[in-house]
Structure 1
Amino acid sequence: MSVAPKTVLCIHDLPGFGRAGLSVIVPILSAIGVQAVAVPTAVLSTHTGGLGAPARLSSPGYGPAALAHYRRLGVRFDCIYSGYLSEPEQALLVEQAMEYWPDALTVVDPVMGDNGRMYSGLAQEMVPALYTLCSKADLILPNATEAALLLGDPLPAPGSVTPEAAAETAARLTRVCPQVLLTGITAGHSIVCVGADKNGASYTVRTPLIPRLFHGTGDIFGAVLVGRLLQGNVPEAAAQAAAVFVGDCLRATPEGADERLGVWLESVLGRLVPNA
């Protein structure tokens, strides 16, 4: 007898060109064998990283109406996974989803900045809005810059955070959210992710550093992580699988490829398919 696939409510941006947001999250979850239900926070002609000012399709009422429709239909979500929010009010949309489906695993990627600065176009009010959202989540996935913003710490210089400092920061963040995975720490020839939970447990995931920066790799990491968690992996194993797949995507992308357009994940998606 076939078992229905797990279902994830994905509340992220949808860029038409440039591999990021829902354009990578949906195919990754589908390859893993998880049904992705997309609720775009913004529909954009491209992502916002270096491709000029994108065309935007704005419909503030769509998200709440979509959630209400899914609730009327009796849709059951195993996970609510949120990422880029274009304005603080959209955090309330994710909180509404958490109230509608209280039994769902809630994973929040508090997308606010990287490399020691906030992303352009985001209001400062995004910080308290995402702090409140993170406090209601089961697991959060900040990078070092986002962790500092959530904690009110000085923003770290690029590459300045050590694994030891990351572990301390992750532990402090468990006062906000019970499970934390701090991502994207560079340590020598490794890229490191540090996990912690409110019970004092911790873990570190190391994969070989591939010194190339592409837009969308954080969304790829998060999507694989969510998919593996729903398959029953513990967080450390899910994080390891996500980090390895990001590395596979980077190696599949030719030298000289335009980093603004994201990694060439199409050729390696099949590695995520169960029993492939």
Structure 2
Amino acid sequence: MKKVAVIQDMSSYGKCSLTAAIPVLSVMGVQAVPLPTAILTAQTGYSSFYCEDLTSKMEYFTEEWNKLGVAFDGIHTGFVTGKEQIDNIFRFLDVFHSNETTLLVDPVMGDHGEVYKMFTGELLDRMRALVTCADLITPNVTECCLLTGLSYDKLQHYQNKTDYMQALEEAGQQLQQITGANVIITGLNPPPADTTKRYVGNMYINATRSFSSIRDYNGQSYSGTGDLFASVIMGGMMRGQDLVESMKLAEAFLATAIEATAKEQIPSEAGVHFEKFLRMLLS
């Protein structure tokens, strides 16, 4: 069985990070090995939560796993609380990352044009260094802008889909060329020709081509969808699936879960009811 080290937080409420990654990887036939960066009573979108930062504890996981002589087929990084945790991730990679290990970096820093509370210029600098080690990077639109210098505000003022998509494709190509990694930009919201509709999508870019997928959008943004998406992609890579096919599978899985969640009028911070649709991910 393939093993993936998942380095991100554990939020008890909100269905994100480890509570999203572990069930997705498990149902896809992959052993998820968690290295928690923090323990939270609820994800940070809730009005109140307690966070226990585990920066000082991360080194023990590296040391103890090294004593056991374990090896990983994949490493998946997500939410970190600051640049010090990225430094810890680099030390982890020094021990466990090899040419046979697939590294997926989800550069969690912000969304909808806003940075998260833990964001600093130093964090951005270290994240830019981390993505150069990756085989696959999965930024959302905001994070793509942060990593490449593309203006998020300018992007939102494009009046037609073609200009919007071209600007993001160029930014994605820039990121791909800088890092050498495959790139999937998530959460695209291109301007619609019909103002009564909204769209959402993703764009895959490698060294030779790009592929985008756009579908209708209900306007709801739920906690953890990016984590679920990245986890399906990682599971697909561990199964040897083509990245475009994995992207399509992740989109179908999320679209079904989001539709069911919207019908139940679940608060966005509570995340999507994905559990009963995990069967869609079985090989």
Q: TM-score, normalised by structure 1?
A: 0.91
1:205 to 199, 207, 213: 213
2:257 to 244, 249, 258: 249
Aligned to 2:177: 175
1:107 to 104, 108, 123: 104
Q: How many angstroms apart in 2 are the aligned matches of 1:245 and 1:209?
A: 15
SS in 2 for 1:174: helix
Q: How does 1:5-44 map to 2 (within 5 A)?
A: 5-44=1-40
Q: How does 1:60-75 map to 2 (within 5 A)?
A: 60-75=55-70
Q: How many angstroms apart in 1 are the aligned matches of 2:87 and 2:157?
A: 33
Q: How many angstroms apart in 1 are the aligned matches of 2:78 and 2:275?
A: 22
Q: How does 1:75-86 map to 2 (within 5 A)?
A: 75-86=70-81
Q: How many angstroms apart in 2 are the aligned matches of 1:171 and 1:34?
A: 30
Aligned to 1:90: 85
2:269 to 251, 257, 260: 260
Q: Do the aligned partners of residues 238 and 159 (structure 1) sit closer, same or farther apart at CA in structure 2, a change above 3 Å counting?
A: farther
Displacement of 1:105: 0.4
Displacement of 1:206: 3.0
The question of whether the paired residues in 2 share the 8 Å contact of 1:139 and 1:177 is answered with no
Aligned to 1:55: 50
SS in 1 for 2:265: coil
SS in 1 for 2:279: helix
Q: How many angstroms apart in 2 are the aligned matches of 1:152 and 1:245?
A: 31
Q: How many angstroms apart in 2 are the aligned matches of 1:45 and 1:160?
A: 38
1:223 to 231, 240, 258: 231
The question of whether the paired residues in 1 share the 8 Å contact of 2:39 and 2:53 is answered with yes
Q: TM-score, normalised by structure 2?
A: 0.89
Displacement of 1:157: 6.2
Aligned to 1:193: 202
Displacement of 1:158: 7.8
Displacement of 1:159: 4.8
Q: How does 1:115-130 map to 2 (within 5 A)?
A: 115-130=112-127
The question of whether the paired residues in 1 share the 8 Å contact of 2:39 and 2:54 is answered with no
Q: How many angstroms apart in 2 are the aligned matches of 1:173 and 1:267?
A: 36
The question of whether the paired residues in 2 share the 8 Å contact of 1:25 and 1:219 is answered with yes
CA deviation vs aligned residue, 1:143-188 (integer Å, no higher than 9, x gap): 1111111123333368557222211111111123221111111233
Partner amino acid, structure 2, of 1:14: M
Which runs of no fewer than 5 residues in structure 2 stay unpaired? 159-163, 193-197
Q: How many angstroms apart in 1 are the aligned matches of 2:157 and 2:223?
A: 21
SS in 2 for 1:176: helix
Matched, 1:270 2:265: no
Q: Answer with 10-19 or 115-124: which moved more.
A: 115-124
CA deviation vs aligned residue, 1:31-63 (integer Å, no higher than 9, x gap): 1111000001110000001x1242122333321
Displacement of 1:192: 2.1
The question of whether the paired residues in 2 share the 8 Å contact of 1:163 and 1:192 is answered with no
SS in 2 for 1:125: helix
SS in 1 for 2:177: coil
Partner amino acid, structure 1, of 2:274: L
The question of whether the paired residues in 1 share the 8 Å contact of 2:172 and 2:185 is answered with yes
Q: Do the aligned partners of residues 160 and 11 (structure 1) sit closer, same or farther apart at CA in structure 2, a change above 3 Å counting?
A: farther
Which runs of no fewer than 5 residues in structure 1 stay unpaired? none
Aligned to 1:146: 143
CA RMSD of aligned residues (A): 1.7
Aligned to 2:195: none
CA deviation vs aligned residue, 1:1-45 (integer Å, no higher than 9, x gap): xxxx11110001110111111111101111111100000111000
Partner amino acid, structure 2, of 1:44: L
Aligned residues with identical type, % of pairs: 28
Q: Answer with 22-31 or 199-208: which moved more.
A: 199-208
Q: Answer with 161-170 or 220-229: which moved more.
A: 161-170
